[in-house]
């Protein structure tokens, strides 16, 4: 099973560096990284190129023009660029522990999308991590317990490890609430089946929920990646939520139907990615 990790980023090269350090230290190195860049400046490209030059890391840069928040579009472009069997979606401010890719490989199951979770880091601690280049991806349980005591991390429960075959993983097969593309994995063929993420959502908000709901409409089941594939989420300011009401109306309309294809999705990039005129 060939895995591609799609890392979405926008003008945060220091955070992206910390994330790529985490991927360079994975116990499972049979994967590629697609940095899905939503219009960053040249500095981000230079960071990507630095890591692409490493022999132990396969990294590609997929860029689109900066025209506001278009995470769905750049994720679609990235998925169109790879022929990997399995896609792990994440963000350029989510640092993986060394077992992250191996954990998602173990959780992969036909007919399921796997939703993991994260540990949120505080603003002061995030500044320190980036300024001092702390290798938090290598930290042990005791170090995270101390971080939690200092309120540098919001919780420890996600770091507890349960079996990949634990019964609770498929206990909520219709769940879509809380599913986020910062830690979401599924087969590429299923992404194509639902026409990827829906770019009709304008600005930040609810495109992740739309994606999960359409996957359920297409017959997939939710599988929990909790207590097995966590991430460490660096602090950032909230995105502009000016279009949230409009996006909520769109999501409510989807919930009233059985539609599973994105109205504006990945199909528009597939021929271009294959080099078809």
Q: Set out the domains of the chain in order of their start, with CATH numbers.
A: 3-273 (3.90.550.10)
Of 46, 51, 74, 52, give the one whose Cα is nearest residue 62: 74
- Cβ count within 10 A of residue 260: 17
201 versus 193: the higher-pLDDT residue is 193
pLDDT tens string 247-257: 999 999 999 99
Say yes or no to pLDDT of 47 above 80. yes
- Residue-level pLDDT at 274: 55
Please state the pTM of the whole predicted model.
0.95
240: its two tokens? 């502009």
55: pLDDT confidence band, cut at 50, 70 and 90? confident
- Residue-level pLDDT at 273: 58
pLDDT tens string 117-176: 999 999 999 999 999 999 999 999 999 999 999 999 999 999 999 999 999 999 999 999
């Amino acid at each position: 099973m060939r895995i591609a990790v799609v890392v979405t980023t926008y003008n945060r090269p220091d955070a992206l560096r910390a994330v790529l350090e985490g991927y360079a230290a994975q116990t499972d190195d049979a994967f590629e990284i697609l940095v899905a860049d939503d219009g960053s400046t040249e500095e981000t490209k230079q960071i990507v190129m630095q890591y692409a030059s490493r022999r132990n890391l396969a990294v590609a840069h997929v860029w689109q023009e900066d025209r506001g928040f278009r995470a769905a579009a750049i994720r679609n472009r990235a998925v169109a660029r790879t022929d990997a069997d399995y896609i792990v979606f994440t963000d350029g401010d989510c640092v993986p522990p060394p077992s992250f890719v191996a954990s998602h490989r173990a959780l992969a199951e036909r007919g399921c999308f796997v939703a993991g979770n994260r540990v949120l880091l505080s603003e002061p601690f995030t500044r320190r991590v980036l300024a001092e280049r702390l290798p938090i991806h290598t930290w042990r349980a005791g170090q995270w317990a101390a971080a939690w005591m200092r309120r540098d991390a919001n919780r420890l429960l996600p770091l507890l490890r349960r079996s990949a075959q634990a019964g609770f993983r498929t206990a909520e097969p219709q769940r879509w609430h809380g599913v986020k593309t910062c830690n979401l994995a599924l087969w590429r063929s299923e992404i194509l089946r639902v026409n990827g993420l829906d770019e009709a959502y304008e600005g930040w908000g609810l495109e992740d929920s739309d994606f999960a709901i359409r996957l359920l409409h297409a017959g997939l089941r939710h599988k929990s990646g909790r207590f097995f594939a966590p991430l460490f989420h660096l602090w950032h300011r909230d995105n502009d939520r000016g279009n949230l009401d409009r996006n909520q109306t769109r999501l409510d309309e989807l919930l009233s139907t059985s539609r599973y294809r994105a109205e504006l999705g990945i199909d528009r990039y597939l021929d271009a990615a294959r080099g078809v005129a």
